[in-house]
Amino acid sequence: MSKMNFETIILEADETGIATLTINRPDKLNALNAEVLGELETAISEVNRDEAVRVLIITGAGEKAFVAGADIKELNTLNKQTGEKLASRGQHIFDAIENSKKPVIAIVNGYALGGGAELAMACHIRIATENAVIGLPEVSLGLIPGYGGTQRLPALVGKSKAMEMILTGKPIKADAAQQSGLVNAVLSPEEALGYAKKLAGSIINNGPLAISAAIEAVNASGRANGFAREAVLFGQLCETDDFSEGTSAFLEKRKAQFKGN
Ligand code: CO8
């Protein structure tokens, strides 16, 4: 994959193994309509399929927004059945991001509201630009977050802060998001991509099998079987060539050459 053709997103990969997915509806502040969701789903599966891609960065087109939420025009016509179905569909796609074998870094470059905040929370690491505004304003629309926000926000910021954000619907700015642990770092819009790529580079230096297993193990934390799953994955990795190479290289004081076997 160097560049794939989509209508509402741009997916491109460089020679270092970093793919960048840009949600591209800037005139609607990158709101998630059915087409964006469908293309997002295809893109995530392509990223996982393509062995040359090691890290995915997700961001929004334009200077104003990451994603300003689910497309309220589409929400407006939902009923009990179609609402539940759409929430389940979005959850399924965001789960695919959270459970991706490749690390996913969000650059939250402006408004990340409702479904936009939920998309950012499904990513593994979040970098905010100084103008980021993050929140779950669904209650202000008579809704609740439906793309996993009620589950992921408490895990990231604690139940108390999550309750405050979800019940008031009031968004927080970048610095407050960093203080509460919702984002990893805050940078200027000019610096954010470079910082994310540097972070991606540090990840790419490591064994790809270990990175995938680490994502799976961390995702299992807080779940009933988290510790057991961690032990199983640890054992599985001990049988890989990468494990032998990584430990041997350390002992031989050289740089490891991981092959993903
Ligand atoms: N959906 C559709 N269109 C949007 C959205 C959105 N979420 N956000 C912005 N837009 C559109 C505007 O309608 C406007 O379009 P147009 O130019 O055609 O009128 C354009 O983007 C620019 O927006 P504004 O003119 O409003 O820009 P401002 O700078 O004045 O305001 C805001 C920026 C504050 C971000 C404002 O646009 C806003 O409040 N947007 C809505 C934010 C919101 O409430 N998001 C949550 C939506 S609900 C949700 O995400 C639920 C997720 C779970 C779904 C579960 C499945 C059922």
| Candidate of 24, 28, 63, 93 to mutate for ligand 1, largest count of ligand atoms within 8 Å of Cβ | 28
Q: Within a domain: residue 231?
A: yes
* DSSP letter string, 205-223: TS-HHHHHHHHHHHHHTTS
Helical (H) or strand (E) element with 111 = strand 111-113
- Packing angle of the helix pair 80-98, 34-49 (nearest 10 deg): 30
Q: What pLDDT digit, counting tens, does each position of 140-186 carry?
A: 888 889 999 998 999 999 999 999 999 999 999 999 999 999 999 99
- 146 plus 244 within the same structural domain: no
Q: Which residues have CB under 8 Å from 50's CB, separation 6+?
A: 1, 13, 19
pLDDT tier, 254 (very low <50, low <70, confident <90, very high otherwise): confident
Same structural domain, 109 and 237: no
32 and 86 part of one domain: yes
% residues pLDDT > 70 (the chain): 97
Q: Is 148 in the pocket of ligand 1 (CB under 6 A)?
A: no
Does residue 227 surpass a pLDDT of 70? no
Please tell me the number of Cα atoms within 13 Å of 239 on its side-chain side.
Answer: 4
Distance from the alpha carbon of residue 28 to the mean position of ligand 1, in angstroms:
7
Looking at the structure, do residues 145 and 224 belong to the same domain, yes or no? Answer: no
Nearest CA, atom 2, ligand 1? 71
**Which ligand 1 atom sits nearest the alpha carbon of residue 145?**
53
Active site residues: 118, 138
What is the Cα–Cα distance from 101 to 103, expressed in whole angstroms? 7
Same-domain pairing of 185 and 237:
no
Of 182, 204, 226, the one marking the end of a domain is 204
Residue 61 shares a structural domain with residue 128: yes
Q: Is 115 touching ligand 1 by the criterion CB < 6 Å?
A: yes
Cα–ligand 1 centroid distance for 68 (angstroms): 5
The terminus-to-terminus CA distance of the chain in angstroms comes to: 22
The reply to whether 232 and 112 lie within a common domain is: no
pTM assigned to the model: 0.94
**Residue where a domain terminates, one of 189, 204, 219:** 204
- Name the phi and psi angles at 94, rounded to 5: -70, -35
Kindly report, residue by residue over 51-108, the tens digit of the pLDDT.
999 999 999 999 999 999 999 989 878 888 888 889 889 999 999 999 999 999 999 9
Same domain, 214 and 190: no
Domain housing 178: 9-204
